[in-house]
Amino acid sequence: MAQDLPESFPPRVGFELEGQRVSRAEERPLAAGYVISRDYFRVMRIPLLRGREFSPSDDAGSAKVVIVNQTFAKRFLAKSEPIGTFIRTYPSATSVADSAEIVGVVGDVIDRVGQNEDVPQVYAPFLQRPMRSMMVLIRAGGDPAALAPAVRASVWAIDKDQPVGTISTMKQVLDHKGSGDRLLGGLGGAFTALALGLAALGIYGMVSFMVAQRTQEIGLRMALGAQKGSVFRLVVGNGLLLATIGTALGLLLALPISRTLGSAHPDSWVRSLLVLAMAPALVIVATLLACYLPARRATRVDPMMALRCE
């Protein structure tokens, strides 16, 4: 059983380690707080790294205990032995401190969808901190959804009036929690493609207008011996110049924005650099495609017709 599942962004609890006091509640460090049953780590396959797991004797009549994750131990207990250290937790800024002994260290788990860094986590046994509502987790071989009728029947065999909420697989839970990020990612990709298409259309219109304005000049160049290849490069070069100037200005504006947004998570800053490197390449490709038809039309200008018009 568990109060919250991984990826559910469990509530944060303030805490103080043994011998450490802070003057104000807002200065207390925070950790993700989980209330679980003793078999939680086995079912979720979270490895025990040090110490012990919760036991049936960790009940309301015994000394309070907690288990922390590896990130907690490295960040706050790197220079001391985690096992046996006492910690005071505060579910809220005004609540009374709840002192407990750390009896184990477990591996890290993802705390929320899109997490870029490990989060300190504190696990408390359900028998010592009972909650009004808990989730039941079951690990099974084969299709887990096939167990739904048996699960409902088992619950109702104990209490026929007990309502059974939604039964979901962990895959369904993760897919649901990541749906918002996927939607934003899809919308971002769609708007990016639209912006790239509009940019290519604008470049095409600008280069076409330039070719129309310089028809006589292009005809004169060809009458004086200019080759089609040089005329083609002239038109495409002007289009690339416009794209290069626009891309350079865009990078100057995007670089500080992406650095600011990614400052909290170094990994996201690295990914933003990849995006910033790909964007100019896409713009150049779109520019070349947008310049092709006007440049091809320019190479077909009849020098005699252009001079006669002049």
Q: What is the pLDDT along the chain (310 residues), one digit of tens a residue?
A: 998 887 777 888 889 888 777 767 778 889 999 999 989 999 999 999 999 999 999 999 999 999 999 999 999 998 889 999 999 988 776 677 789 999 999 999 888 766 667 889 999 999 999 888 888 889 888 888 788 888 889 989 999 888 887 888 888 877 777 677 778 878 888 887 888 788 778 877 877 777 777 777 777 777 778 788 887 888 788 788 878 888 888 878 877 766 665 554 555 556 666 667 777 777 778 778 777 877 777 777 676 766 665 5
Q: What is the DSSP letter of 8?
A: B
Q: What is the DSSP letter of 25?
A: G
User: What's the pLDDT score for residue 125?
Assistant: 95
User: What's the pLDDT score for residue 259?
Assistant: 62
Contacts of 243 (CB under 8 A, 6+ apart): 203, 283, 284, 286, 287
User: What's the pLDDT score for residue 36?
Assistant: 94
Query: Which H/E stretch holds residue 69?
Result: strand 65-69
Please say whether the beta carbons of 136 and 2 come within 8 A: no
Per DSSP, helices labelled H in the chain are 40-44, 70-76, 148-158, 170-177, 179-213, 215-223, 228-261, 266-299, 303-309
Q: How far apart are CA 102 and CA 19, in angstroms?
A: 14
In one-letter notation, the amino acid at residue 54 is F
Tokens of 158: 């104990």
- In the numeric block, the tokens 């038109």 are attached to 235
Q: What is the DSSP letter of 273?
A: H
3-state helix, strand, coil in the chain (%, to 5): 50, 15, 35
Tokens of 28: 């207390």
Tokens of 19: 């011998």
pTM of the model: 0.63
User: What's the pLDDT score for residue 101?
Assistant: 95
User: What's the pLDDT score for residue 163?
Assistant: 85
